[in-house]
Structure 1
Amino acid sequence: MSQPREALDLLSDCANCFGLCCVALPFARSADFAVDKDAGKPCANLRTDFSCGIHANLRERGFSGCTVFDCFGAGQKVSQVTFDGRDWRQAPGTARQMFDVFPVMRQLHELLWYLNEALGLPAARSIRGDLRRAYDDVDGRTRGSAEELAALNVPAIRAEVNELLLRTSELVRARVPGKKKNHRGADLMGARLKGADLRGANLRGAYLIAANLENADLRDADLIGADLRDANLRGADLTGSIFLTQAQLNAAKGDAATKIPPALTRPAHW
């Protein structure tokens, strides 16, 4: 399925980014990263052309966390729009500001991803005008100067958008017959949910780390912010699930039988 232009602008394009996720963000030695790295310090695997020297073997080399991360297109926006193609190596005076702006842009682009999805949902037709105005407002903010971006009150923006996303979720899940489960923010780490009926469930912000969701019915479920690290999604049906991101899928474990939304890609490691 082809995606609308808005969605294409929200897909990571590493070729047009200055390796910002490999520099701006910190990571700690863990199961996800082989070494410690401070924010603002280039990863040792970052090449001079901003590509990754071990991209084809990240998981084998202990950097599975890199294969999970998704900037929603924020990297190329900061690199090519906010800083007009001036990279932090050629213009070192921009580095500190560029690295500070990147996490802000990433959050704004994540909101745009959710709003773009909501705009395409037939069930949300009644609030489409509000969704479009919110999308245009956030999109306009992403095109501000570095100083304007750094000064944004991102939590306030997220709170406003979240109200619309909640209304969208309610409209979508209301179309599912029967009583829906509410596991919003629930601690379901390691839960045994094999074959569970979670159709239309509210799983917003649920902790599903290492949960067994094999063959579970997650159709039309709200998965915004759900932590799916190492969750077993083999054979699960995620058809019509809303606000699921590529990063969440990348962090989980699935197989060829897992049914995923058309806007997302089946992870290569499944």
Structure 2
Amino acid sequence: MSGHEDTRDALRGDCANCFGLCCVALPFSASADFAVDKPAGTPCTNLREDSRCGIHTRLRDRGFSGCTVYDCFGAGQKVSQVTFGGRDWRRDPGTARRMFAAFPVVRHLHELLWYLTEALTLPSARDLRGETRRLLDETERLTLLSPDELAVLDVPAHRRTVGDLLLRTSALARAEVPGANGRKKDRRGADLMGARLKGADLRGATLRGAYLIAADLTGADLRRADLLGADLRDARLAGADLTGALFLTQPQIDAARGDARTVLPGTLTRPAHWEC
């Protein structure tokens, strides 16, 4: 197994080694994604004493589809087992407030680690590998800070630094796609909610931060498209080709609607709720 694969394994949620932090630390509001309101720091009523979800296999049926598209990128087990040394907030209530505050910070950092790990695998960005490796190591170091240090960490500033590098990485990767640098391919932050993009040629397009909620991308060609932060909730990806799509994550795929013909990057898995 390569070092990059080892890193990605550590950036996948391991609920068995987490104290249910996403079910406690984070708030949610009654909506199409969540059946009830829950304030931050309050355990979800479905969370059991063993830190497992009592309705895990029925989340969508019970109105908690938002839980099925959430990924902590391994931050839950990092905070539970490393930052707090395996101390359960239930048995050590004094840790609860600081643990719940540390979790979202580490989650942000772990998401950046996912992107930086991907950037290291792109042959077209080989000239940036030294800088990428240094920034990846720095981000990993930040995840190991104490709870008090995490509480005052300027995460937005670090995200901007990483974001600048990822923009340059993306440009190099997409430059290999014919016509990808054309203006029509730059749709950063675009409002494409419900857009009719069936069969669209979006190879090498910049869709970073685009709103693609409920967009029809059936059969679209998204090879080498930059999808960092794109909102794919209910986007129709049946038959779409996402080979080599840049900075695409499992939560984005889980929130979309695809089928057996949808081609995904090898690092992602086909959601069980997708059509056969």
TM-score by length of 2: 0.96
Structure 1 segments of 4+ aligned residues over 4 angstroms from their partners:
none
Deviations 1:138-181 (A, max 9, x none): 00010111111111000000000001100100000000012441
Could you say which residue in structure 2 is the equivalent of 1:199?
203
Instruction: Quote how far apart the aligned CAs of 1:192 are.
Output: 0.2
Could you say which residue in structure 1 is the equivalent of 2:178?
177
Measure, in 2, the Cα distance between the counterparts of 1:133 and 1:150: 23
Could you say which residue in structure 2 is the equivalent of 1:263?
267
Could you say which residue in structure 2 is the equivalent of 1:228?
232
What number of residue pairs does the alignment pair up? 270
Deviations 1:217-261 (A, max 9, x none): 000000000000000000000000010000000000000000000
Could you say which residue in structure 2 is the equivalent of 1:99?
100
Find the residue that maps to 1:51 and give its secondary structure. coil
Could you say which residue in structure 1 is the equivalent of 2:253?
249
Residue identity opposite 2:205 in structure 1: A
1:1-270 equivalences under 5 Å are: 4-179=5-180, 180=182, 181-270=185-274
Measure, in 2, the Cα distance between the counterparts of 1:234 and 1:80: 39
Residue identity opposite 2:90 in structure 1: R
Instruction: Quote how far apart the aligned CAs of 1:94 are.
Output: 0.4
Where does structure 1 lack aligned partners over 5 or more consecutive residues? Answer: none
Instruction: Quote how far apart the aligned CAs of 1:5 are.
Output: 1.0
* RMSD value, Cα: 1.0
Measure, in 2, the Cα distance between the counterparts of 1:116 and 1:53: 33
Deviations 1:36-85 (A, max 9, x none): 10000000000000000000110011100000000000000000000000
Residue identity opposite 2:233 in structure 1: R
Instruction: Quote how far apart the aligned CAs of 1:32 are.
Output: 0.4
Measure, in 1, the Cα distance between the counterparts of 2:122 and 2:78: 26
Where does structure 2 lack aligned partners over 5 or more consecutive residues? Answer: none
Residue identity opposite 2:97 in structure 1: R
